[in-house]
Structures are given as C-alpha cells and as structure tokens.
Chains A and B, each alone.
Chain A
Amino acid sequence: MKFNSGIFFLFFLVFFGIYWALSKRPKIQRIFLLASSYFFYGYWDYRFLILIVLSSAVDFYCGQQIHRHPSRGKIYLYASIVFNLGLLCGFKYFNFFSESFSDLMALIGMNADPFTIQVFLPLGISFYTFQTMSYTLDIYRGKMKPTTSVLDFFNYVSFFPQLVAGPIERANRFLPQFESRKSFDYELAVDGTRQALWGLFKKMVIADYFLAPVVDATFADPSAYSGMELLFGTFYFGFQIYADFSGYSDIAIGLGKMLGFRLTDNFRTPMFSKSIPEFWSRWHISLSRWFMDYVYIPMARKFKNSMSWRYICTIFLFFLIGLWHGANYTYVVFGIIHGLLFLPRLLSKRDKKVKKTLTYLNNDGIGVWISMFGTLFLTNFLLVFFRSPDITFAVDYYAQMFADIPNTECIDWWSGKKAKLAIVIFMICEWIQREYDHQLSIGYFPKLVRVGIYIFLIGAILLYGDFGSDPFIYFQF
C-alpha cells in the first residue's frame, strides 16, 4: 500500500478512528496496530510478511539471549547479524555478487558462468533489517536492555508509517514509545497532520507531477538533449529524489505523530548544505547515523591515531552507503566519490591551509554562498550515477553533457519551465522554514493564511497529484 494511493487514505481513516477508540485498552490498541501494520505490508505481497515475522522473532530471541548469557553474547549477536545480512544478501545482493565474481574470474582469464536466482526484492527489507540489527547491537553494547514484550518488539519492527522506507529507528529511542500508554495529544496530532500534508504535496505534486516527467524523458534518451539540458536533467532528478524521499519521511513522521509517536528526523534542508560532510548530516540522517555508529566509529577506533586508517574507514563507509542503495556498481561509484569528497574535512585536522579554506567557506558571507551552491551542484551532478541503470549509461550521459555543453544555440531554456518554477517555489519554502521541524510548521502564521495554505495544498494534491502510479523512489532500496 502506497501513501500516495486512494486505498491508503481509506485505510488510514478507518485505522485512525479505531486506533484512538481503543486508547483506553492499550494492549488491544497495540495488537490492533500490529495487525494493521501487517495488513499494510501484506497488501503489497502477503508472502513476504513471513520475512518480517522471522526477522522480528530471531532478533527478539537473540536480544534476550545476549542479555541473559553475556558470555555467549557474541554468538547470538553474530546469529542476528548473519540472519539479517543473509536475508539482505539473498534477496538483494546475491546476483550482484555472483555476477561480479564471474566478471572478476573473466578478468584473470577464467570462465565462470554466474549463478543467479530470480527473486523479488521484498519491500523495505533494507530498512527493517537495519532496524532490527540495531536492537541486538545496542543490547550487546550494553546501551539498552531487551524488551520482554514480544508485541512491542514486533510493533517496533513493523510500525507501518516507517516500515518500508524509514526513517530507520533505534530501539533505545523508539521501543519505549510502544511501552508507554498512548493518549491523544492535540498539538502533536495537528503538527503531524501538517507534516503529512506537506509530505504528500512534495511527493505527489512536486516530485511526481512537475519533475518526474521531465527527468524520465531526459534519462530515457540523453542523446536527444543538449548538454545544458542534460545538466538541468541532473538537477531535476536531484530535486525529484529529494521531494520524493523527504516527502515519504514527512508523511511517515507526520502519521507517527498523529498516532502519538515521535520518529527520528531524516532530512534537514540538505539542499542548503555547505559541504559534503554537512550534506550527509542533513540527508537520510537515520541511515548515515546508523553506518556511523555501527560501522565507522567501531572501525576507526581500531587505529585511533592513524590518519590514513581514517581515510580508509571513510571511503569504506561511503562504499557501504552506496551499496546499501542497490546491487549495482553505479551506487558503489556514487558512494566512493562521496567518500572522496568527504576527505577534505579529515585533511583539515592536519593541514592548516585546508582548515583555513574550509573555515572561510563555512563562515564568510560570500564563502557561504559559494560553498552552498558548490555543494548543491556537486551532489546533484553526481546523481547521474544514482539514476543510471549501469556505469556505461552514466559515463555516456556525462560525455554527452560535456561534449555539447558549450553549444548554447540549441538550448531551449523554456523546456521544463514548470519543473524549474516548481523547484524555485519549493526551495523558497524550504529556505523560509529552514529553522523549523518541517516546512509546514506554520502555527505562527495568521489563521487566514494558514487556512489558505491548507486549501491550496489539498487542492493541488487533488487536482494534480499522481495517485498511486509512481511508487516512492526509495521503495526499490
């Protein structure tokens, strides 16, 4: 079930009513929540529900055992990790690794036909496996105690607003929210409704109606476009994926608030970042933090004082972030380049000139604007790898762009004018509201203005929103 579908509106309307009607019976309310989450997921493909149930059961059990038998904790931790990564590898990476191995063999002159399997990628598997792994990892590290409630844990893994595309929640923050009794919080619910509305608008109108058609056309046949149009194409895609994914996150967080839950922020106006490290602290925050906490920091601690080890760890971190997005070399290259662009920040700790330059770019008036536009340009420019079906396509796209970019005669500046206008308005809204939790935190606006904004957004969604047809881009990960 997609958030941008009519059936979801109906589902949520009914669910919301019953959920709060059960608020005086917390246990039944939680059972109802779990059943609804499974229904939500099963509506897509009920067969894959078994994976969520299995993943939840294994990690619940492992969590208990790690706590009860600390001496054997490592075994249960590995069991949890192997199981979850096994699921991921089996469903997401098996063919990629098999084909890569075969390619490698071919490079050294050995012929090995890749063994591949035909399998669907279960929706949200990259998200919920990471969420469950964080639970056992935190118990092993002594950061939390395991829950004794199967119901709460299963709810934690399958909470439907964030089940299929995050934010990836941490057990120590999120799990206790299931344990506490829920009472309706008017302010929270209103704020959540606003955030969900803004998310829907971003996804259905900005991403799907304004940007998706022009991005699809550009990437369907780059040879038909001028270099400048291809450059614009990368920007369109950058804003499309941002509106799409941050839109999903806003809906998820907003729905969570309507149900009395507070989810982790996933985006903080990343388009205004002044450097690549800052970008990653504002973009898909829950993922970068996960990798930071569970991969980078433990790795970097091994050789605390070695700078070159830090470089390696950083590149490896971004390699993993890239690979997390999909079983394709395009994501790997995307990740590694981001890793390389992260290095100046590490360099600045040793090199005074680099430090001085970065300080200027981050603090000086003009420097701030230069670094902001530079980062925006770089991050969007690199997204060609993200959007391309393979490396060859991406390289051809860049080649065509550079070969033709001096040619200004064939540029139709007005092509995609609706998309350009949408981006400008979208960014103005982001800029005005950049200090707030979300762009529709407009409680301080005069009432009449607020009502006007709501009517405009609802009207735009109803008249122009793309209902159900375009899945969220991050669903494929």
Chain B
Amino acid sequence: MNQYLFKVFPYLLGVIIYLGVGEYFLYRTGELRSIESIVSEQLAADHDSHFGKALIPGNHLYLLEHLRQREADIIVLGQSITHQFQARMFYPNEDAFFNASNIIQTLDDLDFVVAEIENGAIHRPEIIIWGLDPDYLKIQEYQQSYFEEGDDDPALDLDQHFRGIQIILKSIVRGNRTYVDFENKRMGYGINGMKGYGRKKDGSFDNSRIIQEYDIEPIYKERNDYENRLDDRRTPFESPLQLEQELILQFDNLVTRVEALDIDILFYCQQFSKDFMNHAMEDQEFRSFWNDFTDICDSLDNKGHHMILYGTPSDLGLDDRYMRDANHAAEVMTAIQLLDILEKKGAQIPALLDIDLDHLRLLIDNMKSEVEL
C-alpha cells in the first residue's frame, strides 16, 4: 500500500497545487462568495455594489435570494427586456422596488417564482412588472429552465469550481489578464462586479461596457447583429418562427394564478428598434409570428390589463438612439415608457399611485443629458 501511495502521491500533489492556485484566484475575484452572504451584505451596506459573477455564476439564484430576503412590493419579472427598470424611477418607493428580470429562462421558471410567492417563501408584492417577450412563448428545441435542477448555490458545487479554475488558467495561458485583474472589491462581487458590471443593488442591470462604448460613439448600433440572426434563423429566431399553443396556455394559467393572489400586473411588451423592425417586417414568417404575438398583447390589453405595449421608439416620438440595441430599450426610454403609462393610467394602478412623476421627469432629463440624447 505504501509503495502505491508513494507512486501516486506526486500526481495527487500536482492536482492539489492546481486546485489550490485556482481556488486562490477564485477567492480573489470574489467568485467563491455564497449568494446568500452577498445578498445579506448588499442589503446591509449603505453603498451600491454590483453582482457580476462570471466564473461561478448563479444570476437567477442571486435574484431569487433578493426576492426572498426583501419585502419588495414592486418587482420586475421577465427576461432581459426589463433590465433597465431602476429603483430611482419609483421615488419615493425605491426601497419597495426590486428588478428580478432575467430570473426567467422558460415559463417553468416563472412558475417556480409564482409558486414561491404562493407558498410564502417570497413576499407577495403589490405589483409585478412582467416582461412579455415572444421568446418564452415560441416553439423551440428543449430549453433548460434555470430552476430545473433546484436552487442550490453553485459556489458549493465542486464542479463549478473546476470550471471556473479552467477559465482562469486557460485565460492566463493565452496571455489574457481579464480574470486576474482584481479591482475594487467594494465595487462589487465577482470578477465583473469588481469592474462595475452586472446587477446593482436594486437588481437593475448596469452594463458599464456598453455605456463606455456609447460615450465613445453615441449613436445607435445594432450590437447583437439581430438582422443577420433573423435572416439566418439563429437564436432567438430559430425555425419554426411560431408560437407554441401549450406555452400560451401555460402563460394564461400563470396570469390567472398571479391575479388570484391579488397582485396587480403591468405587462411590459417586447420593443424593437425601428431599424430592425423595418428589416424584419419584410420577412413573411417573422411578420406572421409578430402578428400572433401582438394579438396576445392586444387581447391582454382588451381584458383590461395594464400594458406598456410592444413597439419601437418612434411610437413615442423617439429615435433608435433610445435603444440599447435592436431589442433592448435603454434606461431613458424605459423611464419615458413608465412615465407615459403613469400619466395615462396611473390612477388605475394603485401600487404605483404615489410615485412622484415630477421626480421621474427630472430624472429623465438628467439621464438624457448624461448620454447626450
């Protein structure tokens, strides 16, 4: 036995050293912190900070943990289209706000969150701002839900550590210092968070890289190559471009369950840039797909739901510079859309009744000047 141990020990030692060095880097980047402790610390701190783990991710779990630890009365649920709703837009109720957009990959995730509200694990909010984009109603190949494998913190998963270490060490070998360029720990958690990129304390998404790019060249750019993606039927436009009836039924069922909880809903529908829309509407399959989607939005509208309807910046008299890219409204446009609905229907949405509209207008003006719109 000793002879065997003597033989394998040097190799085992090599593995231990590899893991030790890797774990050190993970520790320095803040990627090893448990999500529960990050959320607790963020909530207790008086300064804002970013959650931007990239090596041992868990974005959806971070959002879930916030929802569990907070008693937010205004929450945002959806995919990335609702990223730009921010607490400061809801003055004086900033503390009651949390943006959990991107907690949803599929409707099953939404189902999971609604069930958490039903069973009391998440505080029942007064209103949900519900991002409604066609992506999770579309027919697609199997797509894994975020919560399909439970809600265990990946920081406790050894395999995630191995993967994180691989990314770091491979990047070092390639001469890339991205993952060992430790920056301000106070600024955030995780390698991106330290660079001021990721989720802010209110859950809204701060993409400092895009803002930096925008500062250099403040014009609308079709960053995600959306037109080509549509033409080539790549994500999120894979064939067939059709809505799935079963998913629509699941969606309807979720709406009914949320209503049964006596929670108001404000639907925020998909927005596209004018540029993209002009291109896309020439595509017959997309046109039919888009019409089916807008029919669903219209029927919700007709049923009396509060809606920020689908459209392009031009519907608000804005241009494409108000989009972050082809399918994401930038924060100014989001704020303008919020102001628009509050001015028109604010009285019918009790949960948002006491939002200071003058403050919101001032905020919009300030934000416009920040990005030279």
Partner of B159, one of A6, A184, A221, A463: A6
A10 touching B11 in the complex, CB below 8 Å, given contacts A20-B1, A190-B4, A463-B166 = no
Interface string of A185-211 (1 = CB under 8 A from B): 010011001000000000000000000
Partner of B3, one of A20, A186, A465, A469: A186
Closest to B22 in A: A462
Q: Report chain B residues within 8 Å CB of A186.
A: 1, 3-4
What B residues does A464 contact at CB under 8 A?
166
Closest chain A residue, CB of each to CB of B14? A458
| Sampled A-B contacts (6; CB under 8 Å) | A186-B4, A193-B8, A220-B141, A462-B162, A463-B166, A469-B163
A5/B1 in contact, CB under 8 A: no
Structural contact, B161 and A6, CB atoms closer than 8 A: yes
Interface pair B14/A5, CB less than 8 Å apart: no
Q: Is B18 an interface residue (CB 8 A)?
A: yes
In the complex, what residues of A have CB within 8 A of residue B238's CB? Answer: 221
Number of chain A residues close to chain B: CB under 8 A: 23
Q: Say how far B2's CB is from chain A's closest CB, in angstroms.
A: 9
Q: Which residue of B has the minimal Cβ distance to A221?
A: B238
Contacts of B169 in A (CB 8 A): 463
- For residue A467, CB closer than 8 A to chain B, the reply is yes
A406 → B minimal CB distance (Å): 24
| CB closest chain-B residue, reference A188 | B4
Which A residues are CB-close (under 8 A) to B159?
A: 5-7, 467-469
Interface digits, B145-171 against A, CB 8 Å rule (1 contact, 0 not)?
000000000000111011101100110
Task: Determine if B44 is an interface residue (Cβ-Cβ < 8 Å).
Answer: no
Q: Does A403 contact B (CB under 8 A)?
A: no
Q: Which residues of chain B (233-270) have a CB below 8 Å from chain A? A: 238
* Smallest CB-CB A-B distances: 10 pairs: A6-B158, A468-B159, A467-B162, A467-B159, A184-B1, A6-B159, A189-B4, A5-B159, A7-B158, A186-B4
Taking a contact as CB atoms under 8 Å apart, the answer to whether A10 and B158 are in contact is: yes
Q: How far is the CA of A5 from the CA of B160 in the complex (A)?
A: 10
Residues of chain A contacted by B163 (CB below 8 angstroms): 467, 469
Q: Measured between C-beta atoms, what is the minimum distance from A333 to chain B in Å?
A: 23
Q: When each residue 166-188 of chain B gets 1 if its CB lies under 8 Å from chain A and 0 otherwise, what string results?
A: 10011000000000000000000
User: Do the beta carbons of B1 and A454 come within 8 Å of each other?
Assistant: no
Measured CB to CB, the closest approach of chain B to A400, in angstroms, equals 14
A458 contacts which of B4, B11, B157 (Cβ < 8 Å)? B11
| Residue of B whose beta carbon sits closest to that of A183 | B1
Q: Inside 8 A of B141's CB, which chain A residues have their CB?
A: 220
Using known A-B contacts A6-B161, A6-B162, determine if residue A190 contacts B7 with beta carbons closer than 8 Å. yes
What is the bound-complex CA distance between A27 and B170, given in angstroms?
47
Q: Given A6-B161, A469-B159, decide whether A454 and B11 contact each other with a Cβ distance below 8 A.
A: yes
Collect the chain A residues with CB atoms within 8 Å of residue B165's CB.
Answer: 462
Q: Hey, what's the 0/1 contact readout for B3-31 against A, CB within 8 Å counting as 1? A: 11001100100110010000000000000
8 Å CB interface, B18-69 against A: 18
Complex CA gap A55/B11 in Å reads 40
Q: How far is the CA of A10 from the CA of B157 in the complex (A)?
A: 12
Please tell me if the beta carbons of A455 and B14 are within 8 angstroms of each other in the complex.
Answer: yes
What are the interface flags for A446-477 relative to B under an 8 Å C-beta threshold, 1 for contact and 0 otherwise?
00000000110010001111011100000000
B25 to chain A, nearest CB (A): 14
Q: Please indicate the chain B residues that have their CB under 8 angstroms from the CB of A468 in the complex.
A: 157-159, 162
Measured in the bound complex, the distance between the Cα atoms of B11 and A7 in whole Å is 19
CA distance A5 to B166 in the complex (A): 14
Interface residues of A in 349-388 (CB under 8 A from B): none
Q: How far is the CA of A169 from the CA of B15 in the complex (A)?
A: 33
Contacts of B18 in A (CB 8 A): 462
Tell me, rounded to whole Å, the shortest Cβ–Cβ distance linking A442 to chain B.
Answer: 14
Given contacts A186-B1, A454-B11, A469-B163, 7 further A-B contacts (CB under 8 A): A6-B158, A9-B158, A20-B1, A190-B7, A455-B11, A462-B15, A464-B166
Q: A7 to B8, alpha carbons, bound, how many Å?
A: 19
Asked whether A462 lies within 8 Å of B166 as measured between CB atoms, the reply is yes
- Interface contact A463-B158, CB-CB below 8 Å: no
Chain A residues contacting B3 (CB-CB under 8 Å) are 186
What distance in Å separates the Cβ of A440 from its nearest Cβ neighbour in chain B?
Answer: 13
Residue contact B4 to A463, C-beta cutoff 8 Å: no
| Docked pose: A455 CA to B13 CA in angstroms | 12
Report chain A residues within 8 Å CB of B157: 6, 468
Nearest-neighbour CB distance to chain A for B231, whole angstroms, equals 13
A258's closest neighbor in chain B, by CB?
B4
Chain B nearest CB from A10 CB (Å) reads 7
B243 → chain A closest CB, angstroms: 20
Q: Which residue of A lies closest to B141 (CB)?
A: A220
Distance in angstroms from B372 CB to nearest chain A CB is: 42
In the complex, which residue of chain B has the Cβ closest to the Cβ of A193?
B8
Kindly list chain B residues whose C-beta atoms are within 8 Å of the C-beta of A190: 4, 7
Chain A residue nearest to B19 in the complex (CB) = A462
Segment 212-228 of A: residues with Cβ below 8 Å from B: 220-221
**Inter-chain contacts of B170 with A (CB < 8 A):** 463
* Contact code string A217-257 (vs B, CB < 8 Å = 1, else 0): 00011000000000000000000000000000000000000
Residues of chain A contacted by B1 (CB below 8 angstroms): 20, 184, 186
CB distance from B108 to the nearest CB of A (A): 15
A184 to B3, CA, bound (A): 11
Whose C-beta in chain B lies nearest to the C-beta of A9?
B158
Of all chain A residues, the one with the shortest Cβ separation from B234 is: A224
Question: Once bound together, how far apart are the Cα atoms of A464 and B166, in whole Å?
Answer: 7
What is the minimal beta-carbon distance from A187 to any residue of chain B, in angstroms? 10
Task: A6 to B157: give the CA distance in the assembly, Å.
Answer: 8
Q: How far is the CA of A462 from the CA of B161 in the complex (A)?
A: 11
User: Which residues of B lie under 8 Å from residue A221 when comparing CB positions?
Assistant: 238
In the bound complex, what is the Cα–Cα distance between A306 and B14 (angstroms)? Answer: 63
Give A462 to B166 CA distance when docked, in angstroms: 7
Residue of A nearest to B3 (CB): A186
Shortest C-beta distance, B154 to chain A (Å), equals 11
Which residues on the B side are within 8 Å of A184 (C-beta)? 1, 4
The CA-CA distance from A469 to B159 in the complex, in Å, is 8
Interface string of A167-192 (1 = CB under 8 A from B): 00000000000000000101001100
A220 vs B142: C-alpha distance when bound (angstroms): 10
User: Shortest CB–CB separation between residue B149 and chain A, in angstroms?
Assistant: 11
Point out the residues of chain A lying under 8 angstroms from B14, CB to CB. Answer: 455, 458
What separation, in Å, do the CA atoms of A49 and B159 have in the docked complex?
A: 25
Alpha-carbon distance A458/B158, docked complex (angstroms): 17
Contacts of A465 in B (CB 8 A): 162
Bound together, the chains give a CA A189 to CA B1 distance in angstroms of 9
Q: For residue A189, which residue of chain B has the nearest CB?
A: B4
Contacts of B4 in A (CB 8 A): 184, 186, 189-190
- The complex places the Cα of A76 from the Cα of B169 at a distance, in Å, of 59
Minimum C-beta distance from B37 to chain A (A): 22
Cα-based distance from A190 to B5 in the complex (angstroms): 10
Minimum Cβ distance to chain A for residue B178 (Å): 17
Q: Closest approach, in angstroms, between the C-beta of A141 and any C-beta of chain B?
A: 40
A463–B163 Cα distance when bound, in Å, is 9
Distance of A462 from chain B, by nearest CB (Å):
6
User: What residues of A have a CB within 8 angstroms of the CB of B11 in the complex?
Assistant: 454-455, 458
Binary flags per residue of A1-43, CB closer than 8 Å to B gives 1, else 0:
0000111011000000000100000000000000000000000
Q: How far is the CA of A458 from the CA of B165 in the complex (A)?
A: 15
Rounded to whole Å, the gap between the CB of A1 and the closest CB of chain B is 11
- Which residues from B are CB-within-8-Å of A467? 158-159, 162-163
What is the distance, in angstroms, from A443's C-beta to the closest C-beta of chain B? 12
Closest to A184 in B: B1
Question: Most chain-A Cβ atoms within 10 A of its Cβ — which of B141, B165, B166, B169?
Answer: B166
Closest to B161 in A: A6
CA distance A7 to B162 in the complex (A): 11
A222 to B8 Cα, complex, angstroms: 45
